[in-house]
Structure 1
C-alpha cells in the first residue's frame, strides 16, 4: 500500500488572509466538526489498544506516551491529569517528549529527528516488558517515536500508536495502531489543529476507559480524585453528601478525616 500524508495536503480553503474573522471562525469550526466522526471510524482500533492497556496495568505495568511537538505535549497533558483525576501514582502513566521538559513550552530544534533518544528516554524510566508504550505522531513519520517503538518491539514490549495518516511508517511499526484520518488542515500542514484535536479525543478515551476498568470511578464519580484545591474539596463534599445522604458540614468533616471520597464512603457508619 502507498503512503500519502493527508495531514500535509493542501487546505480546502485558500486566501485565508482575505477572510473576515467571522469567516475564519466558521470555516475552522466546520473543519473541527468532522473530527469526532473520524474518531468514530477508529473505535475498533481504540478498543483493542484500550483492552491491552487495561490488561498490562492490572498486572502491575505502566502506560507510556511518547511523542514530539504537539503530539508529545498532548501525551504529557493526559498523563499529568491521571493522578489528580483518578488518584493513581504519578509513575503509572508517563508522558515523554522529544527534547525533554524544555520542549513542553518551547520547541527544541531537530529533537524529533533523533533515532536514539526515544529509547534512551524510555530506559531512563526503567521500561520493561510489563509496560505498554504508545507512540503519538500526527504525521506517523517522526523518527524519535518510530525508532523508540522499534526498540520496544525488539524487547517484547507491547506498542500502540495514534496517528492521522493511513498506513504510515508509525502505524506499520506499532503492534496496535490507531489511525484517525482527519484530512487536510485548515492551514496546510498545521497538525496542531484537527489532528491535535483527534489525538486529544483518543487520549481521553484511552485513559478514561482504562481508569474506569481499573475501578477508579464509582457510579459516575471521581471518588479517588486528589483533593488538591478548594474546587475539588467542594466537589468531594457534594459527592459524599449525595452518596451518603448527609449534610455538607458532616461531609466536610468526613473528608478531612479520611482524606478521600472513597475512604469516607467505605468508613461511613
Structure 2
C-alpha cells in the first residue's frame, strides 16, 4: 500500500463523490459545508497556535526572524503572508521571509521535482544565513514534503526554533519540529487538492501567527495599526487621523507632534496621551517593549526609564 493511501489529505470525501452530478448551486453549498469544518479544525489547535505566536514575538524581540518554508500552495501561502507584513505593520522585508520550493518561478507555475529535494531546502535556508534567534515554520499539508523536511532539519541543526503546520497527524513534519500545529480538516472536496480546506486552514493559521506576534510586540494600539511609515500622502493623512482619534488632539496639534517625532506615530501618541516630550516618549516606548499603552501607563505613574 502506498504512503499516500494513509494520508487524510489524499483520501476520498464521501460527501463529494457525486460532485460531478451537481449544478453550480449544489457545488457551492457542498463546498461551503466542507469549509465550515475548517474553523473547528483550526480552533482545536488554539493552544499550539498561541504558543507559536508567543515564540515568534519572543524571537522578534531578540532580533530574530520568522521564516516560512513550503512547496506548491503551502509555499505560496507562506510567501503571501510574509509579503503582507511590510505594508501592514511597517516591518523590514527581511523580518518575515517566505521560501518556496523552486524559487520565485514556483509562485505562478509548477516546478517539477522541486518539492522532492530536501538538500535544496537546506541550501535555500542557508542562503538566508539563519541563526538560533530565528523561527522556521515548515508548511506541508501532507506533513511529508521532502523540501520542507530539509528546511526544518537544517534549522534544528543550527539551533533555530521550528514549527510545523500540517493537516495530517501523525506526520514526519510533526515528528521533526519543536511545535506541531495540525488542523485536521478531513478529506478535500476534490481528493488531494490541498489548496482547498487545507489551504484555507493554513492561511488562517499564518494570519494568526503574524498578526498575533505583531500585536504582542507593539505594532497596534487596540485594533489600529500604529507603526506606520508615512512615506506617501495617503499614509501621512492616515497617520494624522489616527493621532487625532486616539490621542484626542486637533489637526494642528497632530501636525506639530508629528513634526517633533519625524513623522513617527507611536512616540507622537505617547506625547499626546501623557504630555511628555519626544525624547522621553522614545525612552518610555523602549522601556515598555514598544507598547504605546504600556509607555503611557509608565508615564502616568511616573515610572519612566
Fold shared by both chains (TM-score > 0.5): yes
Q: What is the deviation of 1:226? A: 3.9
* Separation in structure 2 between the aligned mates of residue 229 and residue 8 of structure 1, nearest angstrom: 48
RMSD, aligned α-carbons: 2.2
How far apart are residue 238 of structure 1 and its match?
Answer: 2.9
> What displacement does 1:187 show?
0.9
- Aligned partners of 2:116 and 2:146 also within 8 Å: yes
Number of the residue aligned with 2:46? 43
Q: 1:188 to 1:215 in 2, by over 3 A?
A: same
Q: CA deviation at 1:223?
A: 0.3
From 92, 114, 117, give the equivalent of 1:114: 117
Per the TM alignment, residue 56 of structure 1 is displaced from its structure 2 partner at its CA by 1.7
The aligned counterpart of 2:263 is: 259
Alignment of 1:88-167 (within 5 A): 88-167=91-170
Distance in 2 separating the partners of 1:249 and 1:185: 56
Displacement after TM superposition at 1:96 (Å): 0.7
Q: How does 1:233-252 map to 2 (within 5 A)?
A: 233-247=236-250, 251=254
- For the 8 Å contact 1:160–1:178, the answer to whether it is kept is yes
Tell which structure's C-alpha radius of gyration is larger: 2
Structure 1 residues 27-58: Cα deviation after superposition (integer angstroms, max 9, x where no partner) = 11111111111001111111222222222221
Deviations 1:207-226 (A, max 9, x none): 11111111111122100134
For residues 184 and 223 of structure 1, do their structure 2 counterparts lie closer, same or farther at Cα, with a shift above 3 Å needed? same
CA contact (8 A) 1:4 1:166 kept: no
The CA deviation at 1:101 is 1.0
> Larger RCO: Structure 1 or Structure 2 (Cα < 8 Å, ≥ 6 residues apart)?
1
Moved more, 118-127 or 52-61: 52-61
Structure 2 SS opposite 1:34? helix
> Structure 2 unaligned runs (5+)?
276-305
Distance 1:192 1:231, change over 3 A: farther
- How many residue pairs align between the two structures? 268
Cα offset, 1:191, TM superposition? 0.5
| TM-score normalised by length of structure 1 | 0.91
Could you tell me which runs of 5 or more consecutive residues in structure 1 were left unpaired when the two chains were aligned: none
Give the Cα separation in 2 of the matches to 1:147 and 1:242. Answer: 49
CA shift at 1:172, angstroms?
Answer: 0.8
* Aligned partner of 2:224 among 221, 224, 228: 221
Report the counterpart of residue 203 of structure 1 in structure 2. Answer: 206
Quote the Cα distance in structure 2 between the aligned partners of 1:126 and 1:35.
35
In structure 1, what is the Cα distance between the partners aligned to 2:269 and 2:75?
37
